[in-house]
Every structure is written in structure tokens, then in C-alpha cells.
Chain A
Amino acid sequence: MTEGSLLKVSGLRTEFATYRGALVAVDGVSLALRRGETLALVGESGCGKSVTALSVMRLVRRPGRITAGKVMFEGQDLLRRTRREMQRLRGSRIAMVFQDPLSTLNPAFTLETQISESLRVHRVARGREARERSVELLAAMGIPSPSERLHSYPHELSGGMRQRVMIAIAVSCSPDLLIADEPTTALDVTLQVQIMDLLAEIKRTRGLSIILITHDLGIVSQFSDRAAVMYAGRIVEQASVSELLGRPLHPYTEGLVGCIPRLGRPDVPITPIEGTVPDLVRPPVGCRFAPRCPRATDRCVASEPPDYRLESDRIVRCYLHEKSSLASSGEETG
């Protein structure tokens, strides 16, 4: 079933030591990403999306620590790789694009230095060749007059251009997996679409697989194949994008979809999700969403529902869907 998986995360748990105790930012997250697929990781701020991404790349820094789980990348557990092996993998096989392109580019260097650096570190190209490759990359990212741009410093570029440069650096060594952590959040709306179009094009031409972290369901619906909804460190629902947005099952997903304003339909009210996210140092005993859930029962508060696997690879963590679970009806898919 996971034959075509490029990345398979299972039971990932990442904790941060705080004065009040361990904050479990990512708690038992399991995901699978097929080759050539875009998986969106959706959820509100602080739900653990970014930490999940950083954990996959093993970039979590003190006081954070990955305490359990497996990150299988092409059949090998990244959590068992040595530091040196991880270093070689980062940038060359798995690359990352971050939210704020101004602060992720080093202010002290020109674009040429920064792009060719990555090529040089991974021994892809050096010297003149690296320069030529950099120009090609910038051109491929839709940056006008790329050879002149190479001598620019990051502050001399607009926000959209910087993000194009970051993407150029990320794909410079032809990685298999690109993790884009809110790549368009710092940009204005017109640029968001341009950057997302660029990512989609790169994915097509270079055969990349993408994990797209976002809280923008509009972007999810247009640019991804499947989506996983995260809440308070757990994945609450995983499904194909059309199913997830068309027929959300988990009350939290429903809530998120209900928050999308409809253009030209002022009669459809925006329904906010009441309450706030739980404290992750002392999470609720039952379902993490129960305190905010309009349909929570006593059972939801008392014990946490497991993952229910439904038809067509859909997974939902909610008692409401216990009945339709494939496992409980005996149709184990294995």
C-alpha cells in the first residue's frame, strides 16, 4: 500500500522542554507522501505543522527533541541517519523553503554567492559552472535579467523575487522532496498565486514531491493533491483535497472550511471556531478538539478517539465516524 511512498512518517513525536514540563508539539503524527504528489499540511498557528516539517529534516533545535517515531525516506529511517549523512541529504535530496524570504537569505552575501554555495557544498558544480547554473536557475524561476541580478544583495529585491531566489536555491541540487513552509504567507495575494504557480511548474518539470505547509485553504484546494489537517499536535483528518474540502468529516475541518469567506455570497455567514487551542504541556485527556467542538459528547471528553480509516484512504480521528470505519466493519485493508 505504501509502495509508491517517497516519505512515510509514523508515530512522530517532538517535545520541547519548558519550565512547566514537556510541551509535545508533535504528538504521534503519521503521514505518507507519494512520489510526485503534493501533500498539504493544514492547521492554525501553533498546531505543529512547522515543527513536523523541521522534525522530518531533523532541524529541531534545543530545547526541542524528537522522542519517538520513524521518518522513512526512500525506505531509510532519517531519524537513524548520522548527522553527517543528514547533512548530505539536506539540500541535495530534501530541501526546504521558508516563510519569510528576506530573513532566510543571508544579508551579507550576493545572490551569486548564496546560490553557488549550495551547489558547491553538495559538489554539484563550482566556479564558472556554478555561475552558469545560477543564472539558469534564476531564469527558470522567472527572474528578469538573471545575470545582472546575481550581483544583487537580498535587500535589493522585492519580496516575490526573494522567494523566487529561495526556491531557486532549494531546487538547485535537484532534490526529490521539497518542504515549503508557508511559502506565500509573507507575500501579497497577487504574488501568492505567482509563487504557487511557480512551485507547481517546478514540481511538474522536475518531478518533485512537495509537502506544502499552509493555513490558506484556498491554496490547498488549488495546489495540492491530498491534505492533512493538524490540530494541537495531532493529525485529525487526512484525505484527498476534493473530499476533504467538499465533504469535511472532522468537526475541526468543518470549522476550518466554515471560516472561508465566500466571494459574492454575503448571505453565507462566516462561522468562527469558538475557544482557543489547548495547552500542549497539559493536553486534554480526551479528544483535543472536544473543548471547542460543537458536537462533543461525554465520551469525547473522557477518552481520545483513535484514527479511523475510511474508504479511499481517508483517515479521521473522531468518534462520529466510528461507524463508517473500514476496520470496525471488518473490511481490513492492511
Chain B
Amino acid sequence: MTQTLLDDQLIGTTAATAPGLLRLLARNRAALVAAAVIAAFLLMAAVAPMLASHDPNQQRSESIRVPPVWQAGGSPRFPLGTDALGRDLLSRIVYGARVSITLGVIVVLLTMIVGTGLGLLAGYFGGWFDAFVSRIVDVLLAFPFLIFALAIMAATGPSLTALVLALAFKGWVDFYRVVRGDVLAARGAAYVTAARGLGASTAHIIFREILPNVVPPIIVVATLRMATIIIAEASLSFLGIGVPPSIPAWGTMVSDGRADIATAWWIATLPGLAILLLVLSVNLFGEGLRDALDPRMSL
């Protein structure tokens, strides 16, 4: 009984490491569509200069607040219209994808490395190191993100480096907690004792025996964190303490269009929709991934 149950669970996990993951993922319609949308955004960011018909920062006093092409007064020159300074919205949204995605990837990678590393060490060795890092985590969890972000941006002035730091400051905590917990469970696993019995070193056990078994949850956390980071970046930019004004970013654009929302709805709404679409897709994809990697959900 127990044996079969175990077997079934393991089939789930291992299928996840093989091409079986794609098959499981394909069964989830929403995740599949989300993956397509994400791919479209990635492509858009990659070929932004080709896609954008204008310089995203070029201001035109003669054509401000031009509505999108499908509305009365719209012009095919500016398919999604222009903002209060006459900048082309389409070009700005396309370039904005670059900032959101690049920042998201950098911050997630950074926090993943830090969180996973600390989680592995704390989970495996326990003791004072675990207690120390876990208390730091408790403090960070109680610390309001916005206040810290405000403080660091105020201190250093808006720059991409400061923004990455502000976003990564707390982000590693999620990786740390997931990895630590899983390592704690894996540490006592029989295959770890067996590996030790065969002469494996501690480093070998941590990186070659335990780490591969905690990769699936790390991937899931990374995806879900990506969505959170994109939102957080947009929020900071909206507040004017995120991406520097010279770089087109969705959050800044929403903020720019806020005053004109009653008369020129597109200026704030269209970049807002871009945020919504990307974050929603990333979340749906992350959930699909979690289901595909979680044996209980997939069977």
C-alpha cells in the first residue's frame, strides 16, 4: 500500500525532471496560454528597437495626447496614441517590457542564488548559523518593503543598482525558507546516509545529493517571485522612486497618465494592461509549473 503510494509520488517528481514536465504542463490550458503570452513579451523585449516605430523618449509638442488609432482623432502614426508630452505609447510600452523583464530576471536570479545558498547551509548544518539566518529572516519579514525601498532610493538617488538592491533585499527570504525546509527533510533521508556510507564528502552530499531534489520547488518559487518583482518594480516606478525617468517603464507611465485619466484614458490604462497581462501570465505559468511538479496535483 504505502509502497505504491510512494511510487506514484515519485513518478510525479521524476517525470518533472524529464521531458514529461512539458507534457504535464501542456495538460494545463491556462498555463499553456500564459507561456505563449510570456514568450510574446520576451520576444517583444528582445526586438524592441525593431518593433518600436519611434524613439520612446522623443517629445512632440504638436501631437500630445493623441488617442489610439481606433478612436476618433487617432492617427496610424501612433497606433496606441501618445502621452502628455507627445511620446509614442507603443514604443514606450515595448521598451518598458525590457526594463520589467530584465529587472525581474536579475533580481530573481540574485535572490535565488542567495536564498538557495543560505537555505542549503542553514538546513544542512543547522546550529547557530541556522538560528542566525532564520532570525534575520524573521526581522525582514516584519520589515515593510516600501519603507526600506524609500530609504535606500532616497539615500542613493534613483538608479538601477539601487532598485535591484531594494527589490532583492527581501526577495531571497522565500527561496531561503523553501530550500531550508526541504533540506531539513532531505538531510535525514536514507539516501543521504547511504551516500555518506559510500564515502561522499559533505559538499558532495549538499550539492550532488540534496540540491537536485530541491530544484523543483526552487523553480516554482522563482516563477512566482518574478511576478511579485515585476509588480514591486512597477509600484516603485509609479511612486517615482523606481526606474530613473530617462528609461521608459510601465510603472512610470501609469503614474504619468494618472492626471489625465478622465480625458485621455489610454495614457495610464495601456501600460497598466501590459503590467496586468504579464504578471497574470507569469502567475498562471508558475501555478501550472507547480501543479506539474507536484505529484499530488498531477495524478
Contacts and interface: CB of A to CB of B under 8 A. Distances in A.
Are A and B a genuine interacting pair, yes or no? Answer: yes
Interface in B187-213: 189-191, 193-201, 204, 208-209, 212-213
Contact of B197 (A91, A100, A102, A155): A91
Contacts of B191: 103-107
B190 A90 contact: no
Contacts of B13: 107-108
Interface stretch (A116-124, A208-216, A306-314): A116-124
B140 to A, nearest CB: 28
Contact of A91 (B198, B208, B209): B198
A98 B191 CA distance: 9
Nearest to A109: B212
Contacts of A102: 3, 6
A121 B198 CA distance: 9
Interface string A184-208: 0000000000000000000000000
A118 B196 contact: no
Contacts of B10: 107, 153-155
B55 interface: no
Interface string A88-103: 1111100110101011
Contacts of A154: 10
B197 A90 contact: yes
Nearest to B191: A106
A159 interface: yes
Given A98-B193, A105-B191, A106-B213, A155 B198 contact: no
B190 A118 contact: no
Residue of B10, B13, B189 contacting most chain A CB atoms (<10 Å): B10
A57 B11 contact: no
Contacts of A54: 193
Given A90-B198, A98-B193, A155-B10, A108 B3 contact: no
B197 A57 contact: yes
A96 B200 contact: no
Nearest to A100: B190
Contacts of B189: 103
- Secondary structure of the B side of the interface? helix
A102 B2 CA distance: 12
Given A104-B191, A108-B212, A109-B212, A95 B17 contact: no
B17 A108 contact: yes
A241 interface: no
A59 interface: yes
A166 interface: yes
Given A98-B193, A104-B190, A155-B11, A87 B3 contact: no
B7 A118 contact: no
B30 to A, nearest CB: 28
Contact of B7 (A89, A108, A155): A155
B14 interface: yes
Contact of A98 (B14, B17, B190, B200): B190
B199 A122 contact: yes
Residue of A88, A100, A104 contacting most chain B CB atoms (<10 Å): A104
B243 to A, nearest CB: 39
Interface in B2-49: 3, 6-7, 10-11, 13-14, 17
Given A155-B14, A159-B3, A90 B196 contact: yes
Interface in A165-196: 166, 169-170
A96 B209 CA distance: 17
B14 A121 contact: no
B194 A121 contact: no
B14 A91 contact: no
A100 B11 CA distance: 18
A92 B215 CA distance: 30
B110 to A, nearest CB: 25
Contacts of B194: 96, 98, 104-105, 166
Nearest to A54: B193
Contacts of A166: 194
Contact of A95 (B193, B197, B200, B215): B197
A96 B190 CA distance: 12
A166 B193 CA distance: 13
Nearest to B127: A62
A118 B215 CA distance: 22
A314 B166 CA distance: 73
Interface in A96-153: 96, 98, 100, 102-109, 117-118, 121-122, 153
Interface of B: 3, 6-7, 10-11, 13-14, 17, 189-191, 193-201, 204, 208-209, 212-213, 215
26 contacts: A87-B200, A87-B201, A88-B199, A90-B196, A90-B197, A90-B198, A92-B199, A95-B197, A96-B197, A98-B190, A98-B193, A98-B197, A104-B191, A104-B194, A106-B209, A107-B10, A107-B213, A108-B13, A108-B14, A108-B17, A108-B215, A118-B198, A121-B198, A121-B200, A153-B14, A154-B10
What are the 10 tightest A-B residue pairs by CB atom distance, in nearest-first order? A91-B199, A91-B198, A155-B10, A103-B190, A104-B194, A90-B199, A108-B212, A96-B197, A104-B190, A106-B191
Interface of A: 54, 57, 59, 87-92, 95-96, 98, 100, 102-109, 117-118, 121-122, 153-155, 159, 166, 169-170
